[in-house]
Amino acid sequence: MPNIAVFIEQRAGQIKQVAWQMLSEARHLVDAHGGEVWGVHWHAADCDVSTTAGRYGAHKVVTATAPEFERYDSELWTQALAQFVQQHKPDLLLIGSTAMGKDLAPRLAARLRTACISDAVGLSWEDGLVVKRPVYAGKCFAHVTARSVCPVVGIRPNAFALRETGDTAAAVVFKPVLDASRARASVTAVETAAAGKAALTEAEIVVSGGRGIKGPENYRLIEDLAGALGAAAGASRAIVDAGWVDYSHQVGQTGKTVAPNLYVACGISGAIQHLAGMSSSKCIVAINKDPAAPIFKVADYGIAGDLFAVLPALTEAVREFKR
Q: How far apart are CA 228 and CA 288, in angstroms?
A: 20
- Min dist CB 305 to ligand FAD, Å, is 7
> Nearest distance from residue 313's CB to ligand FAD, in Å?
13
For position 298 contacting ligand FAD by CB under 6 A, the verdict is no
210 binds ligand FAD (CB under 6 A): yes
Closest to ligand FAD by CB, 52 vs 208, is 208
Nearer to ligand FAD, 260 or 277 (CB): 277
Beta pairing class for 92-96 and 60-65? unpaired
- Cα(157)–Cα(133) distance, rounded to whole angstroms? 13
* Total chain residues near ligand FAD (CB under 6 A): 28
Query: Going by C-beta distance under 8 Å and a sequence separation of 6 or more, which residues neighbour residue 69?
Result: 42, 43, 44, 76, 77, 80
| Interatomic CA distance for residues 240 and 58, integer angstroms | 41
Secondary structure class of 232 (helix, strand, coil)? strand
Residue 260 makes contact with ligand FAD by CB under 6 A: no
For ligand FAD, which stretch binds (CB under 6 A), given 78-86, 92-100, 166-174, 289-297? 289-297
Q: How far is the CB of 119 from ligand FAD (least distance, A)?
A: 15
Q: Which helix (H) or strand (E) holds 271?
A: none
Smallest separation (angstroms) from ligand FAD to the CB of 310? 7
Q: Does 293 bind ligand FAD (CB under 6 A)?
A: yes
Looking at the Cβ atoms of 151 and 210, the one nearer to ligand FAD is 210
**Alpha-carbon separation of residue 119 from 26, 90, 136 (angstroms):** 16, 20, 13
Fill in the DSSP letter of residue 280.
T
Q: Is 288 in the site for ligand FAD (CB under 6 A)?
A: yes
Q: Does 134 bind ligand FAD (CB under 6 A)?
A: no
Sheet of strand 262-266, all strands in order from the earlier edge strand to the far edge: 232-235, 205-209, 262-266, 283-288, 301-304
- The verdict on 83 binding ligand FAD (CB under 6 A) reads no
CB nearer to ligand FAD: pick between 94 and 310: 310
Between 58 and 221, CB nearer to ligand FAD = 221
Please select the residue that binds ligand FAD; options are 61, 222, 274, 284, rule is CB under 6 A: 274
Strands 262-266 and 205-209: parallel
Q: Give the integer Cα–Cα distance in Å for 38 and 288.
A: 46
**Using N-to-C axis directions, what is the helix angle for 219-229 and 307-322, rounded to 10°?**
20
Distance (Å, whole) CA 293 – CA 271: 9
Amino acid present at 298: V
What CA–CA distance (Å, rounded) separates 129 from 218?
A: 47
Q: How far is the CB of 289 from ligand FAD (least distance, A)?
A: 4
Residue from 35, 96, 157, 212 in contact with ligand FAD (CB under 6 A): 212
Contact track, ligand FAD, 219-258, x by CB under 6 A? -----------------xxxx----------xxxxxx---
- Residues near ligand FAD (CB under 6 A) are 210-212, 236-239, 250-255, 267-269, 271, 273-274, 277, 287-290, 293, 306-308
